Chains A and B, each alone.
Chain A
Amino acid sequence: MKPLRLRRLSAQVALVPTWIIVIFAYIGTILWTIRISFTSSGILPKYDFVGFKQYDRLFQSSRWTISVENLAIFGLIFVIGCLVLGFLMAVFLDQRIKGEGIFRTIFLYPYAMSFIVTGLVWAWILNPTLGIQQAVQNWGWNGFTFDWLSRGDRAIYLVGFAGMWQSAGLVMAILLAGLRGVDEDIWKAARVDGIPPWRVYLSIVIPMLSSMFVTAVVLLAIAVVKVYDIVVAMTGGGPGISTEVPAKFVIDYLFNRQNIALATAAASVMFVAVLVVLGPWLYNQYFRQDRRAS
C-alpha cells in the first residue's frame, strides 16, 4: 500500500504548478471578470458595486442582441456546413481515387490560412465593385448583381460561408481517418446484400463514426464561440452593425469604448451561456463514456 500512496503523493506534488495555474490564471481571472461586471468601471477597474446595471444595459442594447443572433446564424451555417461538406469530401477521397494526395492537400489547404486571411480574401472576392459581381458584369451580363456583402440582412451568411470554406478541410481530415478505420468486411457484406452505398454510409458508417463527429462538433463549436477575426477582416462588423458578434462586442467595449464593466458583463454572459449549453453535453459525451470504458 505504502509505495502506491507515495507514488500518488509525488504525482500530486508534480501537479502543483498546474493547480496553481488553473486556480489563479483560469478560475481567478474568471471570478475577477465576473466581479468587475458588477461595477461601474471605465478604463480602469473600480471596485464599487452597482448590481445588475451593466447586464440591464447589455440586454437592452440592440448591438448585443444583433451579435447574439449573428452568432447563432454563423454557428448553424458554420457547424452544419463544415460537417456536411467535410463528410462529402472525406467520402469522395475514400473512393481510393487517383491523385488522392493532391485532392487532400487542396481540401485541407484553406485550413492552413488564418481567419484573418480568409476574411480578407472573401471580402475582396465578394466586394461588388472589385470581385465576382464586377467580373461577371465585365463579361457582359450587365444585370448581374451579387452584393450580399453590402447588404445588412445578408452579409452574415457570407461570413458563415467563408468560415465554412476555411474549416471544412479539418472535418474532412478527421472523418477521413475514421472512414479508413471502417472494416472492409462491412462493405463486403453490404455488397452481398445488395445495399446501395449511400445507405451504408447513412445507416452504418455514420453511426460508427459518431465519436469522430463529436470531436469535430466540439472543435467547430469552440471556433464559433470565439469568432472574431474573420468578422473584423471581412466586414469590420458592417454594414452598420449587422455582422457584429459577441466577442467583438467585448473587445470593442474593453479597449476602444473604455467601459470594461460592460465588456466583462458581456464576457460573463458568454461564459455562462457556454457553460449551460456545452457543459452537460460534454459531460455526457466524454465523462460517462470514459467511466463505462473503465
Chain B
Amino acid sequence: MQAHKGRHALGIAASLALGLAAAQAQAAEKAEVIHWWTSGGEHAAVKEFEKAFDAQGGKWVDAAVAGGGGDSARADGINRIIGGNPPAAMQFNTGKQFDELVSNGLLRNLDPLAKEYGWKDKINPVLLNAVSQDGHMYAVPVDIHSNIWLWYSPELLKKAGVEPPKTWDDLFTDLDALKKQGVIPLAQAGSAWTQALTFFNVMIGEGGKDLYMKVLKDRDVAAVKSPEFLKVAQTFGKLRDYVDSGMQGRQWNQATALVINDKAGFNFMGDWAKGEMELQNKVPGKDVGCIPALGHNTYWVGGDVFVFPKLNDKAEIKAQDLLAKVLLEPKVQLAFNEKKGAVPVLKDVPSQDMDQCAQQGLALLKKGDYVPSSDILISPDMSGSITDLVASFFTDKSQTPENFVNRFAQIIGG
C-alpha cells in the first residue's frame, strides 16, 4: 500500500511538471499518452509514434508506466480517468479491458473520425469488432500481436543434433537433447502472465482452435473435462521439468534474450520478442527460429489499442484527433510495427518487406487460421483467476494435471 501512495505522489509531481511544460509550449497540440512500452524494443517502436505525431504539429507527452503485462499502467490510467484527470490517450490490450469504461460513457466515440478516414473498410475486421460496441468504434487498434509463438535457437538445436519441432512430441525430444547438452532447455520468465502465455500456447497448439473456443468463448465445462483438455494440462505440466531455477525473478525480455544469445533452447513468447531481436541485430526467422502455435499452427489476433477519454478542453480534443489520425497512417503503422515485431492493423499495408515470421503470421491470417485473443473472449477478472491457477500449477510440481483440470472447470463454470 505504501508503494501505491508513492506512485500517487509521483503522479502529482509528474502532473505539476507537465503543467509547467504545457505553459511553455502552448502552440503545439499537447497529448499525454499512457502506455507500458518500456523494454528496449518497445521503446524504439513507440518513438516512431512520437516522431510522427510531433512532426505533424503535436506534442507527445510520454507517460510510460513500466511493467511488462501493463497491469500498473492500466491501473494508473483507469484511476486517472475515473478521478477526472484523464490522459489524452491510453493504451489497452485489444479486448474487454475497457468495456466498462465505454458503458459508463467515459471514452470518446470515434465514429466521426472513422468515417472521415474510412477506417471501417481498412482495418482488419476481427480487430474492428473487438474495438466496437453496438457498432460504434471506441478505440484505435495499432498492432496485431500473436501471443502464441515458440522461439528457438537454431544453433543450439544443431549442436544438440536435433531438428526444429513439428509436434509436441518432437519438442520434448528436443528439450531432452538440450538438457543433456547442459544448456537451459526452456527459458521461462517468473512473472505469472508469461506462464499464462505459455499455457495458452499449449492449449491452442496441442488442444486446437476448437477446444480453445469452446472453453473460453462458450464456457463449456464439458470441454474442460474432456480428454483433450487433460492432455493439454499434462503437456503443460511436463514443461515444468525443463525450466531452470533462475526462472523466478526473470523478466520476459531476459528470458527471450537467453534464446537470442544461444544460452537457452526454447522460449514461449509473443511476437513482441522480435523487438528484442532487432535491438541485438538478429533476424527473426533466421537467427532465431519461430513457430506459430506448435502443433496446430494458428495465429492469435490480439494486440494493443489506444482509447481516447472524453475531455473538455478544445485544444486537447484537437490533439486527440490528430493523434488518432497519425496512429493509423500506413507509413507510421509500418514503421511502428516493424520495430514492435507486430503486424499492421490495416489491410492495404505492403507486407513484402516484413520478416519471415510476420509473413507466416499474415499467411495464417489470410487462410483464416486464427483465434481471437483471450483478452477479447474473457474479462480481466476471469483472466486473472486463470493466471493465478496456471502460475501456481506451473511453479509447484506436486500439483497434478487432474487437479488443475478441476480447478479450471470451476473458474470457467463460475
> Which residues of A pack against B, CB within 8 Å?
42-44, 57, 61-63, 114-116, 123, 127-130, 147, 149-150, 152-153, 155, 226, 228-229, 232, 235-242, 247, 251-259, 262
**B53 contacts A by Cβ under 8 Å:** no
Chain A residue nearest to B74 in the complex (CB): A256
Chain A residue nearest to B2 in the complex (CB): A229
The CA of A259 and the CA of B75, in the complex, are separated in Å by 12
> Contacts A239-B190, A256-B74 hold; do A150 and B1 have CB atoms under 8 A apart?
no
Provide the residues of chain A in CB contact with B1, threshold 8 Å. 226, 228-229, 247, 251
The CA of A238 and the CA of B196, in the complex, are separated in Å by 13
Number of chain B residues close to chain A: CB under 8 A: 39
> Contacts A228-B2, A232-B3 hold; do A238 and B246 have CB atoms under 8 A apart?
no
Chain A residue nearest to B195 in the complex (CB): A240
Provide the residues of chain B in CB contact with A147, threshold 8 Å. 245
A239→B78 contact, CB < 8 A: no
| Segment at the interface with A among B175-183, B214-222, B356-364, B384-392 | B384-392
B248→A238 contact, CB < 8 A: yes
Chain B residue nearest to A256 in the complex (CB): B71
> Contacts A240-B392, A256-B74, A256-B75 hold; do A128 and B191 have CB atoms under 8 A apart?
no
A258→B379 contact, CB < 8 A: yes
A240→B249 contact, CB < 8 A: no
The CA of A238 and the CA of B190, in the complex, are separated in Å by 7
**B213 contacts A by Cβ under 8 Å:** no
Q: Which of B104, B246, B381 contacts A128, CB < 8 Å? A: B246
Distance (whole angstroms) from the CB of A40 to the closest CB of chain B: 11
Provide the residues of chain A in CB contact with B384, threshold 8 Å. 252-253, 256-257
The CA of A177 and the CA of B149, in the complex, are separated in Å by 61
B248→A228 contact, CB < 8 A: no
Q: Quick one: CB contact mask for B50-82 with A, threshold 8 Å, 1 for yes?
A: 000000000000000000000100110011001
A115→B2 contact, CB < 8 A: yes
Q: Which of A150, A232, A256 contacts B248, CB < 8 Å? A: A150
Provide the residues of chain B in CB contact with A237, threshold 8 Å. 192
> Which residues of B pack against A, CB within 8 Å?
1-4, 71, 74-75, 78-79, 82, 97, 100-101, 104, 190-192, 195, 244-249, 379-381, 383-385, 388, 391-396, 407, 414
Provide the residues of chain A in CB contact with B191, threshold 8 Å. 236, 238
The CA of A241 and the CA of B196, in the complex, are separated in Å by 13
Provide the residues of chain B in CB contact with A226, threshold 8 Å. 1-2
Provide the residues of chain A in CB contact with B247, threshold 8 Å. 150, 239
Chain B residue nearest to A43 in the complex (CB): B100
Q: Top 3 closest A-B pairs, CB basis?
A: A255-B75, A129-B246, A239-B395
Provide the residues of chain A in CB contact with B3, threshold 8 Å. 116, 228-229, 232
A240→B396 contact, CB < 8 A: yes
A240→B391 contact, CB < 8 A: yes
Provide the residues of chain A in CB contact with B388, threshold 8 Å. 62-63, 240-241
Distance (whole angstroms) from the CB of B93 to the closest CB of chain A: 12
B2→A258 contact, CB < 8 A: no
Distance (whole angstroms) from the CB of B409 to the closest CB of chain A: 14
The CA of A258 and the CA of B119, in the complex, are separated in Å by 30
Provide the residues of chain A in CB contact with B79, threshold 8 Å. 255
B396→A152 contact, CB < 8 A: yes
> Contacts A149-B249, A150-B247 hold; do A44 and B82 have CB atoms under 8 A apart?
yes
Interface centre among A42, A237, A257 (most CB of B within 10 A): A257
Interface centre among B247, B249, B388, B392 (most CB of A within 10 A): B249
Provide the residues of chain B in CB contact with A149, threshold 8 Å. 248-249
The CA of A57 and the CA of B247, in the complex, are separated in Å by 31
Provide the residues of chain B in CB contact with A242, threshold 8 Å. 392, 395-396
The CA of A121 and the CA of B2, in the complex, are separated in Å by 18
The CA of A115 and the CA of B1, in the complex, are separated in Å by 11
The CA of A174 and the CA of B396, in the complex, are separated in Å by 41
The CA of A153 and the CA of B396, in the complex, are separated in Å by 8
B248→A235 contact, CB < 8 A: yes
A152→B395 contact, CB < 8 A: yes
> Contacts A44-B82, A238-B191 hold; do A150 and B392 have CB atoms under 8 A apart?
no
Q: Which of A239, A256, A258 contacts B100, CB < 8 Å? A: A258
